[in-house]
Amino acid sequence: MKCTGFESPLGTSRRRLLQQFGMGLGSIALADLVNPNISAAATPSGIDHAPRAKRVIFLFQAGGPSQIDMFDHKPELNARHGSELPDEIRGTQRLTGMSGNQASLPLVGSPFKFQQYGESGATVSELLPHTAAIADELCFIKSVHTEAINHGPGVTFIQTGSQFPGRPSMGAWLSYGLGSDNENLPAFVVLVTKNKNGQPLVSRLWGSGFLPAQHQGVRFRSGEDPVLYLNNPAGVDRASRRAMLDTLRGLHEMQIAETSDPAIEARIAQHELAFRMQASVPEATNFADESQQVIDSYGPDAKNPGTFAANCLLARRLAQRGVRFIQLYHQGWDQHGGLPGGIKRQCSETDQPAAALVQDLKRCGLLEDTLVVWAGEFGRTNYCQGKLTATNFGRDHHPRCFTIWMAGGGIKPGITHGQTDDFSYNVTENPVHIHDLQATILHQLGIDHERLTFRYQGRRFRLTDVHGHVIKPILA
């Protein structure tokens, strides 16, 4: 609406509106002639083609996994192990404060063996035998790059499309644009591996930003109460809870009649969803109906709630029940020192469950329309941070190139897209920016990333800001 100031329109009478707003009726008439859809600024309009995927499971590896030790095999690094990073390779790349002041930047090759797997011939490290076994189901992208060089901006960027806090997360955008296939569960669920150390994960990473509050992610926790305050207090039964919510709804509706505040409508919707979740969440999080064979396929931790294995199995169950966006966070990949031992532990926790999830989705007939994404916020350097010894080393943050993989949801299986130089330092073929990745995820769900927008503070925002191109070569 056209206004001479920033006074809130909530609760404004018709007469006051016509008196206060700039140019009065003339402005309203002109606006309708120029853009008859202006009143629908908050209406999703980005769906423009048939989707290949109905849902996304994002396996986010927080901390920056080392592409050099897992996917991007570089024999040249091993041949030049211990020698100085060539100036012509580094160029003008800025370094973090953690290694930027080192007198020497010695190259360090991977101590782990690599081998080609499947008909696709994908090269995978010995650290990931289960992932290697499903290589023909995966699309490896080795040329992802980002501007962010530190964790906070990096994780925020890949999750929200901006390095600065405050924007809606990807799951919130999808909830806003597509809604949920199950009215008894949230459209956007977050699962965080328990008892992991590393850079902190804050709730704004799955927040709704300036989108309506009902689109924010709902975190499921391990333990007796997957969602906080899911159970009624002692002495309050379900009928009493229903009566209380009905009374509260009546009060809210009286307030809406006076103010037309959309935040109150969002509050009503969240209260009603929470009531339905009291029955749906315990059913979804109970693995009693899973066969022992399925549970065992996810590894020995699958029966331990809150582990990455248990969260992967829960993700499949939530996908079956119509949850639109399922975000898993697994911390601990920030290996500035002690990388050989640290990355072994990380891979032992994540390799089998991630591979089992892909296989399980395929078994259930869900992989075709479920897009699985495995990614971190950036990669690791080819040079050593700190002291290089015969058995130990660390790697710093590296935004110039890193590897992710995708599966299902209309993505070509058994291919590798993009290449890096012999040092895994620069992209040499088919660069993929973070915004390109986001545009492609939305595209697979039937959304034009340039059209799914929300008007806020005088401009239309979108997940990809003013950037992003769909990665067409990887589409099936």
Can you give the pLDDT at residue 245?
A: 78
Question: How high is the mean pLDDT in each 10-residue block of the chain (476 residues)?
Answer: 48 57 50 41 66 98 98 98 95 88 95 98 98 98 97 98 97 94 92 94 96 94 80 77 80 83 78 76 92 98 97 98 97 97 98 98 98 98 95 97 98 98 98 98 97 95 97 97
Which residues are CB-neighbours of 460 under 8 A, at least 6 positions away? 41, 453, 454
Walk me through the domains of the chain, giving residue ranges and CATH numbers: 57-228+298-474 (3.40.720)
Sequence-separated (6 or more) residues with CB below 8 Å from residue 162: 156, 465
The pLDDT of residue 36 is 39
d(CA 63, CA 129): 22
pLDDT confidence of residue 3: 43
Q: Pick left, alpha or beta for residue 435 (phi over 0 → left; psi -120 to 50 → alpha; otherwise beta).
A: alpha
Is residue 406 within 8 A of residue 370, CB to CB? The reply is no
